[in-house]
Structure 1
Amino acid sequence: MNTLTISSLFCTFVALTFALVTAFKSTKEKQYRWFTILCATISLWNLFFFFSHTFNSILLERVHLLLTLTLAPCSAYFFLQVIDHPKNFTLIYILGFLAALGIVLPPDQLWIFKYTSYVYAVSIVSYTFFLLTQHLRKAKLGIQERKRQIYLVLGGWGTLLMLIFDQFSEAGFPFPAIGNVVLIIYLYFIYQTITKRKILDLEDLVAKGVLFSILAGILTLVYVILVSWVEGPALFLFNTFVASFVILILFESIKTLAERITTQFFLKTRIKIEEKIENLQNNLIGISDLRDLIDTVLIGLKDSLKATQAHFFLLDPEGIKFKLIQSLEPDPSKTKVTEVPISHDFIKYSQKRYPQPVSTYLINREIVEGGSNTPKEKLKNTLQLFDLLPAECVLPFILEGKMLGFCTFINEKSDIAYPLNELKLLTPLARQIAQGLKNLEIYDKIRERDRLATLGEMSAGLAHEIRNPLGAIKGAAQYLQPTMENMTQNEFLKIIVDEVDRLNTVVTQFLNYAKPFQQNLAETNLDELLKKALQTATADFPSNIKLSYHADSEIPLAAVDPQQMNQVFLNLIRNAVQAMPEGGELKVSLKSAKDSLQIVFEDTGLGISPENIKNLFIPFFTTKEEGSGLGLPICQKILKAHGGTIQVESTLQKGTKFIITIPSKKS
Structure 2
Amino acid sequence: ITDNIRQFGYEPSDFYSHMLKFTDIIHPEDLGNVITETRLKCQNSVTEFVQEYRIVSKLGEYRWINVRTWIKRNRENQITHFQGIILDITERRVMEDILKESDEKWRDLSENSPAHVLLLDREHKIIYINRTVPDLSKEEVIGTSIYDYTPQEFHKVSRDIYNSVWETGESRSFHTYYKTKEGDIRYFDVWIGPVTQSGKVVALVSHGMDVTKRKKAEQEIKESEEKFRALFENTNDAIFILDKNSQFIEVNQTACERLGYSREELLKLAPESIIPPGYKIDIQGNIKTLEEKGELMIEAEIMTKDRNIFPVEISSRIFNFGGKNRIISVARDITERKVVEQELKKSEHNFKERVKELTCLYGLSRLFEKPGISIDEIIQGTFVLISSAMQFPEVICTRIIFNEKEYKTINFKETKWEITSKVKFKGKQVKIEVYYLEENLFLKEERSLLHEIVNRLKSIIEYKIITEELVRKEKLATIGTLIGSIGHELRNPLGVISNSVYFLNQKMKKKEEKVEKHLKILQKEVDKANKFISNLLDFIRIRTPNFKEGDLNKTIENVANEMIFPENIILERYLDDKLPSINFDFSQIKQVFHNLFLNAIQAMPEGGILEITTSSRENFIEIRIKDSGIGISEEDLDNIFEPLYTTKVIGIGLGLTIVKDLVEKHGGIIQVKRNSRGGTIFTLKLPLKEVKL
Q: What is the TM-score of this pair, normalised by structure 1?
A: 0.45
User: Which structure has the bigger radius of gyration?
Assistant: 2
Compare relative contact order (CA 8 Å, sep 6+) and give the higher one, 1 or 2. 1
Greater fraction of residues in strand:
2
Greater fraction of residues in helix:
1
Q: What is the TM-score of this pair, normalised by structure 2?
A: 0.44
